[in-house]
Structure 1
Amino acid sequence: MNISLLNNSNDDDEQSPYEEVAANISNKDDPTILCLTFRSVFIGILLTCIMSIVSQFFNYRTSPLDINIGLVILLSYMMGEFMSKILPEKFFNITINPGSFSMKEHALITIMATTGTSTVGPIDIITVQRIYYNYYVDHVNAMLFIIVMHLLAFSIAGILKRYLVWPASMIWPKALMTCCLIRTLDIESKIETNKTRWKMTRSKFFWLIVLFQFIWYWFPGYIFPLLSMFSFICMIAPHNIIFSQITGANGLGLGAIGFDWNACIAFFGSPILVPFW
């Protein structure tokens, strides 16, 4: 069967067989909605730089800081709505504010900023060589190594997209959550809120959660670090090496309990996004 390189099929009615995907992801496109605007480029580059610096800085912690995609989506949404209200329509005959903040702009910003929420593997390789093998790689070779690995990954993704992205039967739980949240924010912004029982704005709710997280993290992060991850079973025989490796928090963690959410999702991602298949 001859499959064209570009997906030029006119079959817009292809729908996902999964109800969760079909109910939240539209298979129609509105070409009149703007995507590449001054707002999307500015906010996307700004958040990409901030997220990449923060994620790399905290990557060397015992429990690396996990920057959730939801945080990026909410921040970009608030920044986009703010810029759509304060920016003039044109600046030196250049349109910088074409109107209301669109869902496509939001999606483009999220795609750009998400690339900086996690570190890249080649940096870990360079770090291990320097610390454990006393082998120093100069900055030019290190940058070229990182770029080559990225280009290789993008090439493989481009080859496999016709099998893993284009078919409607493909489902990606983490990407589905991102699309659902972006679509929800766009739809709810057009609905009158005075008809609902929920009186608190999304921005206020978001900042309340941020405040609660900030206060709570002082306990496992500074005041009582044992809350981050501990094992009562390991305390039965703390001098037994094999038993400690099986039940210890730094071992297999059998029976370990943690109250630091970041310690739970630092290496394996959030279990909430992926269903129990």
Structure 2
Amino acid sequence: MTNNNNGYKNLDDTPSQTIESMNLRSIPDNNSETDANTPLLGPTNDNQQSPYEEVAINVPNHDDPTVLCLTFRSVFAGILLIFIKPFTDQLFYLRTLPLSLDIGIIILLSFMIGKFLEKILPEKVFNMTVNPKPFSVKEHTLAVIMAMSADGTHYTVQAIAVQRVYYNYYLHHFNAIIFMITFQLFALSIAGILKRYLVWPGAMIWPKTLMTCCVIRTLHNEDETELNQSRWTMSRFKFFWLMLLFQFLWYWFPGYIFPLLASFSFVCMIAPNNLIFSQITGANGLSIGALQFDWNAWVSFLDSPI
């Protein structure tokens, strides 16, 4: 990527130039013969700065070649999460309230795995560097990208399950695998074709990807001055493990001990045989007035509000 350090004095500071003054390609004017012959999308758009200030601050358009990316730590963390995430998502996919590992959990898990390998691995093994300290943001990003390449459940599994359950048609395992691989490669080919129009231009913005970039950058760019001035003395790892412990203890109640806490409606309990009330206030209907004490019940079918 092309270096463009003039846009920022420091990555942690606000832009030193206004968005309008940055090098952005304007839309061609129909009255101008020169601009009319200039394509809106060139062969590469790596040097473009995003016109959105939130994106420009959090996602720099230049690269630091001295930061390592493809290392043993990043590959190990990525491959490990590639097995864990799709297995978990697919195993709990057919539940009433599906469970899935979203990208926030993947970011935290990959960060902890990288930091753990940074502490326990030797610097070299058989004259090969396996632990170039510290765990960099590029390694972290690569591990997250590898894990999220297997994000979610495959939609072809729904077709195979419907054929087996409702039509008593059993597709051979080999044919099922070829069926899934074909659809996956078809989706990747479409993504490769459209990246010229949806990824390369600097004006493109993807809100969920921006959130991912902000979280990864926050984990690696820790301002010691702000930490010393803050009243919050708990470390990020301690806060994460406490939240994980509380969530583990609480999920026993809606998940096993008292499943009614996951979602219940007082109206449905008052009139359980009323079809209209069930459709309006029931958990399988509009859920108007229903109470839920299970976070997974909120985000199973709707995306996370945070």
After TM superposition, the score normalised by the length of structure 2 is 0.81
Letter in 2 for 1:150: Q
Match of 1:115 in 2: 149
Cα pair 2:282 2:290 within 8 Å, conserved: yes
> In the alignment, is residue 146 of structure 1 matched against residue 177 of structure 2?
no
From the CA coordinates, give the structure whose radius of gyration is larger.
Answer: 2
* Aligned with residue 224 of structure 2, among 178, 191, 214: 191
Cα distance in 1 for partners of 2:58, 2:275 equals 50
Match of 2:7 in 1: none
Cα distance in 2 for partners of 1:38, 1:168 equals 32
1:49-97 alpha-carbon deviations (Å, 9 max, x no partner) = 0111111111121100021211111111111112122212221122211
Match of 2:12 in 1: none
5 Å-filtered alignment, 1:49-60, equals 49-60=83-94
> In the alignment, is residue 93 of structure 1 matched against residue 132 of structure 2?
no
Cα distance in 1 for partners of 2:64, 2:239 equals 31
Cα distance in 1 for partners of 2:42, 2:132 equals 33
Letter in 2 for 1:56: Q
Relative contact order, higher structure (CA 8 A, sep 6+) = 1
Cα distance in 2 for partners of 1:38, 1:244 equals 54
> In the alignment, is residue 214 of structure 1 matched against residue 231 of structure 2?
no
Match of 1:155 in 2: 189
> What SS does structure 2 have at the residue aligned with 1:61?
coil
Match of 1:250 in 2: 284
- Length, aligned pairs only: 268
Cα pair 2:255 2:262 within 8 Å, conserved: yes
Letter in 1 for 2:283: A
Deviation, 1:162, is: 1.7
5 Å-filtered alignment, 1:1-277, equals 2=39, 7=44, 9=45, 12=47, 14-188=48-222, 191=224, 193-272=227-306
Q: Mind listing any 5+ residue stretches in structure 2 that lack a counterpart?
A: 1-37
Match of 2:31 in 1: none
Change (3 A) 1:155 1:79: same
Cα distance in 2 for partners of 1:92, 1:23 equals 41
Cα pair 2:262 2:297 within 8 Å, conserved: yes
Deviation, 1:263, is: 1.0
Letter in 1 for 2:175: N
1:1-25 alpha-carbon deviations (Å, 9 max, x no partner) = 5577852x46x3x332333222322
Cα distance in 2 for partners of 1:59, 1:79 equals 26
Change (3 A) 1:234 1:58: same
Cα pair 1:55 1:116 within 8 Å, conserved: no
Q: Mind listing any 5+ residue stretches in structure 1 that lack a counterpart?
A: 273-277
Cα distance in 1 for partners of 2:176, 2:43 equals 34
Deviation, 1:261, is: 1.0
1:150-180 alpha-carbon deviations (Å, 9 max, x no partner) = 0011111111112221222222221111111
1:132-155 alpha-carbon deviations (Å, 9 max, x no partner) = 111111111111111111001111
Deviation, 1:113, is: 1.3
Change (3 A) 1:202 1:5: same
> What SS does structure 1 have at the residue aligned with 2:221?
helix
Change (3 A) 1:261 1:105: same
Cα pair 1:48 1:116 within 8 Å, conserved: yes
Give identity over the alignment, percent: 62
Cα distance in 1 for partners of 2:267, 2:128 equals 65
